[in-house]
Amino acid sequence: MYLLGISAFYHDSAACLLNNGDIVAAAQEERFTRKKHDARFPVNAIKYCLKEANISAEKIDCIVFYEKPFLKFERLLETYLAFAPKGFFNFAKSMPLWIKEKLFQKSIIIKSLENTLSESIKWGDRLLFSEHHLSHAASAFFPSPFKSAAVLTLDGVGEWTTSSVAIGDQNNLKIMKEMKFPHSIGLLYSAFTYYLGFKVNSGEYKVMGLAPYGKPRFANKIKKNLLSFSDDGSFKLNMKFFNYATGLTMTNKKFDQLFGGSPRLPESKLTQREMDLAASIQKVTEEIVIKIAENVAKETNQKNLCLAGGVALNCVANGILLRKKIFKNIWIQPAAGDAGGALGAALAAWHLHFKKERVVFSNRDKMMGSYLGPHFTNTHIKEDLISCGATFKKLSDIDLVNETTKALINQKAIGWMQGRMEFGPRALGGRSIIADPRSPIMQKQLNLKVKYRESFRPFAPSVLYEDVADWFYHNTCSPYMLHVAFIKENKRTKLTKKELGFSGIDSLNVARSVVPAITHVDYSARIQTVHKDTNPLYHRVISQFKKQTGCPIIVNTSFNVRGEPIVCSPTDAYKCFMNTELDILIIGNFILYKDQQDCYEKKPYHEEYELD
């Protein structure tokens, strides 16, 4: 039985295909269209899923949309009535769109399926609708390695719900408690994302990365003025300071007055004030997450916790949650945002609607390392590279590992594309840029000369699972790069008195450990543990690097430049390679050197990329 899950029309649309409950394929639409956070109906992702399964459209038994559009319309209408006459302009502006399109989204989905798959099939008879937070909860619990667990979902807003607590038991999942719009931890964090001059629904991780450069001096002001807490960790926002319920911005003039100025203009200079604001909202978010988790543990008596929703991508909060040992085990859906809703919708239908049993493997989850996207044979790769006019050489598997290791040691920045593309926002060794973490200048160079992004942004380490406890205060699996851990004292370097006095961005250029390229200013790192069974080739490369250097870690960042999605195809990879200052590209068994490409012109260093 084939089930197709779909998320669309807000941000990060995606498709996922199940076969008798097993995940066959999953991918975000942005990877095919090359439009970051593409919200359009996932035509290309759906076609990929069917191609991966080698089935025709008529084989799809059921299609599940990840939320209920009519409930969103109800929220819009009731929100206006609650705040009227305030917000009438925004209400009047959005209403025609809802009446014309979104209110009748079922018809739009059916028509899109006809255009994408087949006009001869009555897709309305095969179409089901989940609920937003149920889809999140299902994506977290059903693929997890737990027979039973508490399930916590935290994001901006679904239809009405902004956070939920559920109990999962075998093939059952029941939501027990919910927080409702407009009170939302995700929207609170997004409000500060907006205020700090970053883009909502994509810049939140920048706020998280900026936080260690600041001090949380605004935390008490946030808690005193913006929030009122309950004993169970739930809270209400003081809507006098926010504009998102009725307006076109996240915050308002009262918010500006409270924090001493207007929102930062995008791309303008970052000051210590912005860093302190980032540190403050990050600290408050961590406190909220911990308080909610403690109450969930107390009320449910569960030993295991599953997490999903956009806030579950806050790996700093996740790391604190893990170290607090509130739960014995924690599992987080790697595609925790809206893209993962496609997977959750399909799993919810399989287990809850069709009441199918669930098989649990206690030693591993069902995400297959999150390598659920397209893969390309050497024949396909060669054809694409020839079409691009590339100069390349084919290597044996052994030579590929050796050449990669040699290039890493020689301080080369490498575009690495192998196997199936990752599902979710993180590159996990399938579509990655990799480098030597021991270099004191690699972090800044990758940001400014390859990624073309803000220089404060940290890079993540890929570390052999068997070595992680020797290098970090962390001794569990973190295959999806969803936990922050601190590097061990014996790997840190002793700072001079002058270096200890640095603050803010000035502290960026201080080498804090023997692997400075992946060590953030607070000695933290967003770790990915690499496992031989899920990514054997990546494991072999890092193992060979360890053999020659003694270091079981490499730098891993997503294979893309700022403003573009992670690469999907060999052509995408080659274009990114040629438009950046990457030194080497490795796709399948093929290696490409930048200085051997006919159309290569060495790019000058551009200071304008140093935005901070």
Residue 451: what pLDDT? 77
Tokens of 206: 């920048």
Residue 54 burial (CB count, 10 A): 8
Q: Which residues of 428-467 are buried (b: 16+ CB within 10 A; e: fewer)?
A: bbbbbbbbbbbbeebbbbbbbbbbbbbbbbbbbbbbbbeb
pLDDT of residue 610: 31
What's the sign of the alpha-carbon dihedral 50, 55, 58, 60? negative
d(CA 501, CA 514): 20
For residues 367 and 334, is the Cβ–Cβ distance under 8 A? yes
What does the pLDDT read at residue 101? Answer: 56
Q: Which domains does the chain have, with CATH numbers?
A: 2-143+336-366 (3.30.420.40), 179-331 (3.30.420.40), 378-609 (3.90.870.20)
State the average pLDDT over residues 250-274. 95
Range scoring the smallest mean pLDDT among 179-183, 193-197, 281-285, 417-421: 179-183
For 104-143, what is each residue's pLDDT tens digit?
A: 688 899 999 999 999 899 999 999 999 999 999 999 999 9
CA distance 9 to 593: 40
Q: Give yes or no for residue 283 having a pLDDT over 80.
A: yes
Cα 202 to Cα 26, 197, 258: the distances in Å are 20, 12, 25
Report which DSSP code applies to 605. Answer: P
Cα-based distances in Å from 510 to 118, 209, 453, 515 = 59, 16, 19, 12
pLDDT-based confidence at residue 89 (cuts at 50, 70, 90) = low
How far is it, in rounded angstroms, from Cα 159 to Cα 301? 29
Q: How confident is the model at residue 288 (pLDDT cuts 50, 70, 90)?
A: very high
**Distance (Å, whole) CA 195 – CA 6:** 32
pLDDT for 605 beyond 60: no
Note the pLDDT of residue 607: 33
**476: DSSP letter:** S
Contact of 231 with 165, CB cutoff 8 Å: no
377 pLDDT exceeds 80?
Answer: yes
pLDDT class for 71, splitting at 50, 70, 90? low
Query: Does residue 35 or residue 363 have the better pLDDT?
Result: 35
Contact 175, 162 (CB under 8 A): no
Mean per-residue pLDDT for 404-409? 98
- What pLDDT is recorded for position 502? 80
pLDDT in tens, 420-466: 999 999 999 999 999 999 998 888 788 877 877 777 777 899 999 99
DSSP letter at 351? Answer: I
Q: At CA 126, angle to CA 125 and CA 130, rounded to 5?
A: 115
Q: What local confidence, expressed as pLDDT, does residue 85 receive?
A: 53
Res. 86: pLDDT tops 70:
no
pLDDT of 604 higher than 50: no
Average pLDDT, the chain: 91
User: What confidence score (pLDDT) does residue 600 get?
Assistant: 55
pLDDT score at 231: 80
Cα distance from N-terminal residue to C-terminal residue, the chain: 52
Specify whether the CB–CB gap between 272 and 506 falls below 8 A.
no
How far is CA 463 from its chain centroid?
19
What are the Cα distances from residue 28, in Å, to 133, 394, 564? Answer: 19, 30, 13
pLDDT at 606 over 50: no
Q: 56 and 50 in contact (C-beta within 8 Å)? A: yes
The per-residue pLDDT for range 472-499, each reduced to its tens digit, is 999 999 999 999 999 999 999 998 888 8
pLDDT computed for residue 78 by the predictor: 56
What amino acid occupies position 119? E
What one-letter code names the amino acid at 293? A
- Structure tokens belonging to residue 97: 């769109």
Work out the average pLDDT over 354-374: 94
Quote the pLDDT of residue 95: 55
Q: Which residue has the higher pLDDT, 361 or 166?
A: 166
Is 300 a residue whose pLDDT tops 60? yes
Instruction: Report residue 17's pLDDT band, with 50, 70 and 90 as the boundaries.
Output: very high
Look up residue 431 and give its two tokens: 């579509």
Radius of gyration (C-alpha) of the chain in whole angstroms: 24
Q: Is there a contact between 130 and 349 (Cβ–Cβ < 8 Å)?
A: yes
pLDDT at 253 over 90: yes
Task: For residues 34 and 248, give the distance between their C-alpha atoms in angstroms, rounded to a whole number.
Answer: 27
